[in-house]
Structure 1
Amino acid sequence: MKSQFLLDKSITFLNHGSFGACPKPIFEEFQRFQLELETEPVQFIQKKQIGYLKAARESLAKYIGCEAPDLYFTPNPTFAINTIMRSIDLQVGDEILTTNHEYGAMDRTWNFYCKKSGAKYIRQKISLPIISKEKILEEFWKGFTSKTKVIFLNQISSATALIFPVKEICDKAQELGLITIIDGAHVPGHINLSIQELNPDYYTGTLHKWMLAPKGSSFLYVKKEFQNDLDPLVVSWGYESIAPGESQFLDYHENQGTRDVSAFICTPAVINFLEKNNWKQKSSECKQIVLNNYQRFCDLLGTQPICPITNEFLGQMASIPVKTDKPQELKDVLYDKYNIQIPVMPLNGNVYIRYSINAYNSQEDLDVLYAALEDIIATTDLIKT
């Protein structure tokens, strides 16, 4: 599959999780739409765009298990979460219960809105190593109080690459009458997703990561009873529209002035590529490579796994604890000297090297990383073992 991607072949690319990678056929479709837009922008924006977006929503909804009128496209999950936060009417003393494994941009966004509203952002500690799903749930709900209003949770964490028991948390949150907001940035195309089964109030995910779409393609799902309460992040022609469309929800959030929606409307081509290339099987093979190598890297680095080495907690990426005081320097050395693109990420006082495996990767890529780390350990003081 490596020949299907545009990635620099001189780089060992083990960082699909950050921004994804787009195959040539999908990128060509993306450029085709951009050319169509530039060839006749008025006709495209005023006439064709609405139909293209509807077709894209319908194909995506079928893929992620929800109804097409209940979602719209956003550039990224941060945009989606900002939209939600502006509309949930946080009051002084309200609490948002989350974990200490959330994405840094989300932590910052919640902190911004909590400072504005007087609400509190509760980063409940989930201990490492993970012992079991039941232990995660026990620790998480210790953060619940009578003031908890919102549950916010990433389904797959960024720095620690762990899969969280979102279904169980959503079920209990519903019983308690809490608002549930799920950040599924790493989920679509990575692990099985049925939004209908999870039953969150809000769910955001990316297409440009594991679904292989062009950069800047994500979505926000909103349960029907919350849709008319969701204010647009950008007020434009869709507000009090003179030509109302399918719903106020879509008018407010799809019709936001001049912008290039080419990445969004590639979605049917994206899903076609995944189905044509038997991506579920390829994903399964990638997950096995992730599992096969986890303990090997822990042994090399003198650290312990942060979870049971199973598909219950790990997908196509894994984070290996590494003892270093210089995470940025280690990342730079891996890239500048060894041509390896891989994140080295601090979180909660620990540091992790996170490798991602997709269909363009092979065992040889991880062998290159292993040899580089061996050399760094032998020749520098960047890693302590």
Structure 2
Amino acid sequence: MQSNYLKSQFLLKEGITYLNFGAFGACPKPVFERYQQYQLELEQEPTQFITVNGLQYLRQSREALAAFLNCNSDDVVYVTNPSYGVNIVAKSFPLKEGDEVLTSNLEYGACDRTWSYYCEKKGAKYVRQEIKFPIQSKEDFIEQFLNGLTSKTRIVFLSHITSSTGLRLPIEEICAIAKQKGLITFVDGAHAPGQLPINLGTLNVDFYTGACHKWMLTPKGSSFLYVKKELQNLCDPLLISWGYKSARPSHSQFLDYHQLQGTRDFSAFLTVPAAIGFMKENNWSEVAQNCRAIAMSNADRFRDLLKTEPLHNSKGDFIFQMCSTLIKTKQPEQLHQLLFVKYNIEIPVMQHNNMTLLRYSIQAFNSQQDLDILYNALEDIIKTTNLVDL
């Protein structure tokens, strides 16, 4: 069966029910092997790799990524993780005292901290617009979110797919409305590439950062930042290095400033063409659809077991390959540890605002059996411990 073949292509340990792909991803064997080939080439001739061959590989990889995202290859640069990309933009963006950055209260904690830090330094305000659950529809979310807009809003920052709640947000509509109002838009797409199609050519977003090492299947430390050409001059490098006033400048200051920053192993960046190739060879759009079907079909089942309220009333709008369920526990860390140690299940139990969430991720190596194992474990925990309140 195709699912068994795909499971054999991943390096995950046997015996673990792995339902946490959304955290750090997992790399298939052919992509990991390509990664190691690049690392070996680096060690065999470091100078040629870093100063000559590696630059050609970077260009080729960036071109493959740009084709995958439908954007110009000069408008995207590799970064180690999406938080790095957020830091570039948040540090550089010309906020003035009294300006506002509008976001939701569903965003990733590291990004919240980044914006809070730079807003505080600049005298601006980071507005975390509250989203009330259950969300009834895309239109309901849009209305709730846009209630946070004021005459002081300068930039809108929003996740494509949220980390803790796993919700796919209506960024297309939000970006279109923001553009009509003359606002800058920034989408945190950490979980989106590889999980759903990305078309930066039609999205009309100003900044977009995404991970390749999550749903795109590359090794860790491989992500990207896209910046619309007319705004690239705003983006100062986090690290000043040889790209600044380069003796051999390229055609793009954006690439010079951000592509090469000191001595580092950028082999993970170079595996993007191999990862895209792996997805094409294995009809990844169909794989993703099957994974989404499993994620969606189990959502109500876990909510009923845990006797909690839904996060939304429209699964088709909000669920892709990740699904979060509210869970009533005063000891989330102990619950997570018990699930791993006793039941061999790797799944996050996360706190976000005043919520505790159990989030499962469904990837090519997962099956309905994995969620049955989780369901049975939770049933047992409910019966035999006081870790879950009903």
TM-score grouping bracket, smaller chain normalisation = over 0.9
Contact 2:26 2:213 in 1 (8 A): yes
Q: In structure 1, what is the Cα distance between the partners aligned to 2:357 and 2:20?
A: 13
| 1:244 is the counterpart of 2:256 | no
Deviations, residues 47-98 of structure 1 (Å, cap 9, x unaligned): 1111111100110111111111100000001100101112112111110000
2:3 counterpart residue number: none
Q: In structure 2, what is the Cα distance between the partners aligned to 1:112 and 1:336?
A: 37
| 1:369 is the counterpart of 2:374 | yes
- Which residue identity is paired with 2:355? N
Contact 2:137 2:314 in 1 (8 A): no
Q: TM-score, normalized by length of structure 2?
A: 0.97
Report the CA distance between 1:229 and its aligned residue.
Answer: 2.1
List aligned pairs for 1:189-208, cutoff 5 A.
Answer: 189-208=194-213
- Which residue identity is paired with 1:56? S
| 1:164 is the counterpart of 2:201 | no
Report the CA distance between 1:309 and its aligned residue.
Answer: 4.9
Report the CA distance between 1:267 and its aligned residue.
Answer: 0.8
Report the CA distance between 1:217 and its aligned residue.
Answer: 0.5
Deviations, residues 136-178 of structure 1 (Å, cap 9, x unaligned): 1111111111111110000100110001110111111111111
322, 330, 333: which one aligns with 2:327 = 322
Report the CA distance between 1:225 and its aligned residue.
Answer: 0.3
List aligned pairs for 1:263-342, cutoff 5 A.
Answer: 263-342=268-347
Q: In structure 2, what is the Cα distance between the partners aligned to 1:139 and 1:278?
A: 37
Contact 1:291 1:309 in 2 (8 A): no
Deviations, residues 274-312 of structure 1 (Å, cap 9, x unaligned): 000111111100000011111111111111321135332
1:127 counterpart residue number: 132
- Count matched residues: 385
Deviations, residues 229-276 of structure 1 (Å, cap 9, x unaligned): 211111100000110113111111112121111000111111000000
List aligned pairs for 1:68-107, cutoff 5 A.
Answer: 68-107=73-112
Q: In structure 1, what is the Cα distance between the partners aligned to 2:251 and 2:338?
A: 52
Contact 2:25 2:213 in 1 (8 A): yes
**Unaligned residue ranges in structure 1 (runs of 5+):** none
Contact 1:294 1:309 in 2 (8 A): no
Contact 1:287 1:311 in 2 (8 A): no
Contact 2:62 2:73 in 1 (8 A): yes
Report the CA distance between 1:116 and its aligned residue.
Answer: 1.0
| 1:357 is the counterpart of 2:366 | no
Deviations, residues 345-384 of structure 1 (Å, cap 9, x unaligned): 1112111100000010111110110010000000011101
Q: In structure 1, what is the Cα distance between the partners aligned to 2:319 and 2:107?
A: 16
- Which residue identity is paired with 1:34? Q
Report the CA distance between 1:228 and its aligned residue.
Answer: 1.7
- Which residue identity is paired with 1:296? R
Q: In structure 1, what is the Cα distance between the partners aligned to 2:240 and 2:129?
A: 35
Q: What is the percent sequence identity of the aligned residues?
A: 54
Q: In structure 2, what is the Cα distance between the partners aligned to 1:354 and 1:165?
A: 20
- Which residue identity is paired with 1:156? I
Contact 1:290 1:317 in 2 (8 A): yes
Contact 2:136 2:314 in 1 (8 A): no
Q: In structure 1, what is the Cα distance between the partners aligned to 2:330 and 2:203?
A: 39
12, 17, 23: which one aligns with 2:17 = 12
- Which residue identity is paired with 1:109? T
189, 196, 216: which one aligns with 1:211 = 216
| 1:221 is the counterpart of 2:226 | yes
Moved more, 343-352 or 372-381: 343-352
- CA RMSD of superposed structures (Å): 0.9
Deviations, residues 86-112 of structure 1 (Å, cap 9, x unaligned): 211211111000000000111111111
The structure 1 segments of at least 4 consecutive aligned residues displaced by more than 6 Å after TM superposition are none
Contact 1:60 1:268 in 2 (8 A): yes
